[in-house]
Amino acid sequence: MQNLIQFTLKSAVVLLISSVMSMAQNADAVLGVWKNGEGTGMVQIYKKSDKYYGKIVWLKVAADPDGTPRKDLNNPDEKLRSRPLKGLENLRDFVYKGDNKWEEGRIYDPKTGNDYACEITLTDENTLEVRGFIGVSLFGRTDVWKRQVKKG
């Protein structure tokens, strides 16, 4: 009887550890470089502490006609309008919630200068649905991103 109890406890511990490790691996499934739905930019998603962030790493039109790197001209904060778009952190503070979903994040749209609440869903290994919204996710827009590079 004691052997059965020990076996059951050991099995439960192994199961718990493996499920926690599996969840951590799934949480990192979003890491990599993703091209937006329009094909005009790529964002590298990375992890800082326990949250997920993204920065612009490629732009189809990376420079203005005079050759200077494109800037964040539509930002409502005048002090930030001189910062380059390439390298700009436009995804921030995402938390993995399970079921291939990251929530509680924000997305910045440099085209409009607007910042939105955002949720990300990995629908398959190479497809990411990025939904930006104001207030309730029902009132928003979804863009489908395609993976370009997996986490190294």
3 state SS of 87: coil
Write out pLDDT tens, residues 84-115. 999 999 999 999 999 999 999 999 999 999 99
Please report which confidence band the pLDDT of residue 2 belongs to, taking 50, 70 and 90 as the band edges: low
State both tokens at 94.
Answer: 């995402």
Write out pLDDT tens, residues 70-92. 999 999 999 999 999 999 999 99
The pLDDT assigned to 88 comes to 98
Q: Other C-beta atoms within 10 Å of 118: how many? A: 24
Q: What is the C-alpha to C-alpha distance for residues 137 and 122, in angstroms, rounded to an integer?
A: 16
Write out pLDDT tens, residues 3-53. 545 544 444 333 333 333 333 459 999 999 999 999 999 999 999 999 999
Write out pLDDT tens, residues 45-78. 999 999 999 999 999 999 999 999 999 999 999 9
Boundaries of every domain in the chain: 2-150
Write out pLDDT tens, residues 119-135. 999 999 999 999 999 98
* CATH architecture assignment, domain 2-150: Beta Barrel (2.40)
Burial state string for 120-151 with b = 16 or more CB within 10 A and e = fewer than 16: bbbeeeeebbbbbbeeeeeeeeeeebebeeee
pTM of the entire predicted model? 0.81
The pLDDT assigned to 139 comes to 87
